[in-house]
Amino acid sequence: MVKITQRILDLISLDGKIAVVTGAASGIGFATAKLLAEAGATIALIDINESAGGKAVKQIEDSGGKAQYFNCNVTSNTECRETAKKIHKEFGKIDILFNNAGVIRRKNVLDLEEADWDLTVNVNMKAIYLLSRYVIPIMIEEGKSGSIINTGSGWSLKGGPDAVAYCAAKGGVLNMTRAMAIDHGKQGIRVNCVCPGDIDTPLLRGEAKQLGVNEEEFLKEAADRPLNRVGIPEDVALAVLFLASDLSKWVTGTFLLVDGGGLA
């Protein structure tokens, strides 16, 4: 039996790294924060749900990881700036940024209210701009390196029904990722996008309610893909770990589709 070499372990290890995860109190964000902590990173969890954030920290710490919660509305310029400063002061650097916070409103352009358009675009796309604006200088100052992973969607690559604002935002996230990779590659910062398909999270289950359909039937339909199941948060977390680690050290400006073959 071939043993995993130390070189391979070193490539996947995040020992000594500081990772910032947004939308970290539940779903994909929490699963990723937990996995990155298992790989050795210290996690700065960002969310607006203080109670859930505190529970997430405890779960990570109970599993032997290190984490701290930071309350931040990622659509606020002021809060993103101050939170980045707090994380920098607390940990001395930032190595990994997983821009994951997201919302969805399942409506077409005729039914969608302007406030819901603004919320969807701001949380899914503007938040990436805001937090990256304050984290990238820290990455440059402290190490001239870093890995930024943005959460896109299968709908970054194609349109979907009754989700016009979400499709617009996620399409923007993918091309924004490419532009960021071009701008900051010379500073040693890699920027990539993970594009999940349907993942069993509160966000996905909430879509059924928005559409007025039976939740179990909605999930059954979502499982109709080559791998014959709905994704789980850890499926995406594993992809993020790859993009955060040195396993992908020459990968930037691209996307990793994690959808069980749905788009195929």
Q: How far apart are CA 195 and CA 66, in angstroms?
A: 27
Q: How far apart are CA 239 and CA 230, in angstroms?
A: 16
Q: How far apart are CA 193 and CA 203, in angstroms?
A: 19
| Contacts of residue 125, Cβ cutoff 8 Å, sequence gap at least 6 | 169, 170, 172, 173, 176
Query: Across-strand partners of 168?
Result: none
| Contacts of residue 251, Cβ cutoff 8 Å, sequence gap at least 6 | 190, 192, 243
| Contacts of residue 68, Cβ cutoff 8 Å, sequence gap at least 6 | 42, 43, 44, 45, 57, 90
166 noted as active-site residue: yes
For residue 32, which of 131, 106, 102, 133 has the smallest C-alpha distance?
Answer: 102
Catalytic: which of 69, 129, 134, 166?
Answer: 166
For residue 93, which of 82, 105, 81, 85 has the smallest C-alpha distance?
Answer: 85
For residue 256, which of 144, 25, 20, 98 has the smallest C-alpha distance?
Answer: 98
Catalytic residues: 166
